[in-house]
Chains A and B, each alone.
Chain A
Amino acid sequence: MAKSQSSISKDKLMWMYETLVLIRRFEEQAKREADQGRILGTHSAIGEEATPTGICAHLRDDDYVLGNHRSHHHCIAKGVDINEMMAELLGKATGTNKGKGGTMHIADATKGMLGANGVVGSNIPVATGCALSAKVQGKDSVSVVFFGDGASSQGSLHESMNLAAIWNLPVLFVCENNRYAESTPFEYAVAGQSVANRAAGYGMPGVTVDGQNVIEVYEVAGEAVERARKGDGPTLIEAMTYRYHGHFGADNPMGYRTPEEQKYYEDKDCIIAMEQFLVDNGTATKKQLEEIDNDAKARVEKATQFAIDSAYPDPSELLSDVYIKYP
């Protein structure tokens, strides 16, 4: 693990560890739910826990996070209630979206999570608008949008970076480069082989970071958030990361990458690394960390039971919330 972590408070370090573990256990349960046929397979974030954790550690409820189709970890890191999330996955009325959005659209405006989104690149301009809103209203909220290496080929990213730069907006463009867009490798699809380098074309800082190292992410994010809050504008962060499973439930990634490659990345697992770090520098004992993990498992179990016990939406919900009022 990397340098200068002594400046990070113990509370913050422990919060980050708890969050990493909670995401991991939640996503494992979501996968089990899918394997058991209770829900459709989701776009699993297992392996990618560190990036949103390190970033959301700097954020408040009135800061905005917008995600993409693989967003459960963004939601959890931002503080969305996992009971409501699990209920949403099962399509229950008690879900974050009342069962109407599902895995790809989870949102909780009270926590500043303005939604996962199923269309690649679609949320990037929306996040830019949230930043615009904060600026116009004189608030120091920042806006963070997560997207993948695949989305870096979308026009919406370029339009948004340009807008954010010319208007000096408080937005973090965070590319979770997990090296694959479905089955298409990053080396094939991304001209110039670097998403971070694209920032220079828009006159904004672009940083590459090891997305599996939550401390490094924390530090890079800290600078970017501070810059944005001060009114110094946007940043593009490219976090190198890895998803352990396929693009979505049924996809077998061994169809486009080797077991050796998979093992290489699993050996650099962000949770194992953080455990190592916390134990090595005396912040926590192995036993304490185990307790946290058990607690996470218990919380996920409780969330699952809550979801199972919850009622489905009433059929009248099919037609409600199309508008606020019509006419």
Chain B
Amino acid sequence: MVSTPVRALTYAQAVNESFHQEFERDPSVILMGEDVAGGAGRDEFEDAWGGVFKLTGGLIAKYGPDRVRDTPISENGFMGAAVGAAATGLRPIADLMFVGFVGVCGDQIFNNMSKMHYMFGGKVNLPLTVITSTGAGVGSAAQHSETLYSIFVHFPGLKCVAPSNPYNAKGLHTAAIRDNDPVIVFNNKLLMGGARGPGTGAGIHVPEDSYEFPIGKADRPREGTDVTLIGISYTTLQCLKAAEILEQKGFSAEVIDLLSLSPLDEDAILSSVKKTRNVVIVDEDYPMCSMASELSALIAEQAFDFLDSPPIRLCAPHASVPYSPVLEAEYIPSPEKIAQSALSILE
């Protein structure tokens, strides 16, 4: 038997490949955002950045400035323009550089994007995708290090996904672009890499051809029997590392990679918890009214009699992200902390 060599792309490369393939496939796909190309208006500096996290490099050269548009710093303006364009025949991708900037375009996302299809009696579709960056750990301080999943999930009408590796990143971006509903894609900074590090990618095979990862489906990168660890995006990696620590202590952890925040894959979550009877949910967002709280409430409501112990939520602390590296290092739940939590209910 001939084994296929692993085609390892970085997260950013995988997402970039999805964009190139979708631009090629569908001429109604357009992209807008700040420095998604860069050097706007100056031919000799075209594509100076290709996006802050390098997700969108190479697109302007192939598809031109009509379809790949650098915008002024006007989130309200271009997010709203994405809504209007989506309502009238285009399939826009809009880049909200840091999720913490949602405050300057919240109206377009919460009041238009999420509601128009419903308010207009289902007669107008908004097939648009918003990509945004999340997460702490790179010293960007309080306003550039947030995660805010639950803010978007709270609003009916939005679908929300958070990839965790290059394979599902490519598949989820493709699925999001093709979806006829508005989809928000959360891309974690540490996964994407960039100025502060290489990101992730080692060893995960990314098929060259185009494929979708279905929205609404979780993944189970590790099977186990003693405890379920639920991770979201970056924290899935933390959970996988924690599972190894637990293995050395003689416990078998199952890791669920949530991937789809709205809609949730309730089947995958509940069937895992009903099997292991213990659950730790790891979410690097603020704790109050978080995805972790939502998952805990769901599990308590639907799997109460199966639980041997209370659902545990491990989140960021109820505090803004601090700047000082010594403080920031404590902010995201670490593999050690996750393992510790699991042990506290297993032992």
Contacts and interface: CB of A to CB of B under 8 A. Distances in A.
B84 A323 contact: no
B89 A107 contact: no
A194 interface: no
A188 interface: no
B215 A122 contact: no
Interface stretch (B107-115, B135-143, B322-330): B107-115
Interface stretch (B16-24, B119-127, B192-200): B119-127
A200 interface: no
Nearest to A327: B216
A125 interface: yes
A2 B318 CA distance: 66
Contacts of B108: 122, 125-126
A163 B72 CA distance: 7
Nearest to B92: A129
Contact of A114 (B77, B88, B217): B88
A119 interface: yes
Contact of A109 (B67, B120, B181): B120
Interface stretch (A70-78, A96-104, A296-304): A96-104
A137 B122 contact: no
B123 A136 contact: no
A156 B77 contact: yes
Task: Pick from A107, A134, A143 the residue with the most CB of B within 10 Å.
Answer: A107
Given A98-B121, A109-B124, A126-B83, A162 B72 contact: yes
Given A162-B77, A163-B72, A327-B216, A322 B87 contact: no
B184 to A, nearest CB: 13
Nearest to B123: A109
A107 B263 contact: no
Interface string B65-101: 0110101101011111111111111101000000000
Interface in B105-163: 107-108, 111-112, 116-125, 156-157, 159
A163 B67 contact: no
A66 B124 CA distance: 14
Give the size range of A's interface with the partner.
35 or more
Given A323-B157, A324-B181, A163 B78 contact: yes
Contacts of B124: 107, 109, 114-115
Interface in B183-223: 214-217
Contacts of A109: 87, 120, 123-124
Contacts of B81: 125-126, 128-129, 132, 160, 163
Nearest to B128: A129
A2 B5 CA distance: 79
Contacts of B119: 97, 100-101, 105, 107, 115
B276 interface: no
A137 B216 contact: no
B80 A97 contact: no
Contact of B111 (A64, A122, A129, A136): A122
Interface string A42-68: 000000000000000000000010100
Given A109-B123, A124-B80, A132-B81, A326 B30 contact: no
Given A97-B123, A326-B263, A126 B214 contact: no
Q: Which 10 A-B pairs have the closest CB atoms?
A: A327-B216, A125-B80, A129-B84, A159-B77, A129-B81, A98-B121, A321-B122, A159-B74, A126-B84, A97-B121
Given A115-B124, A126-B84, A327-B263, 11 more contacts: A107-B120, A109-B120, A126-B83, A127-B84, A128-B84, A129-B81, A131-B84, A159-B78, A163-B74, A163-B81, A321-B118
10 contacts: A98-B122, A114-B124, A126-B83, A131-B84, A133-B84, A155-B76, A160-B77, A322-B156, A324-B180, A326-B216
Interface of A: 64, 66, 95-101, 105, 107-109, 114-115, 117-119, 122-137, 143, 155-156, 159-160, 162-163, 166-167, 320-327
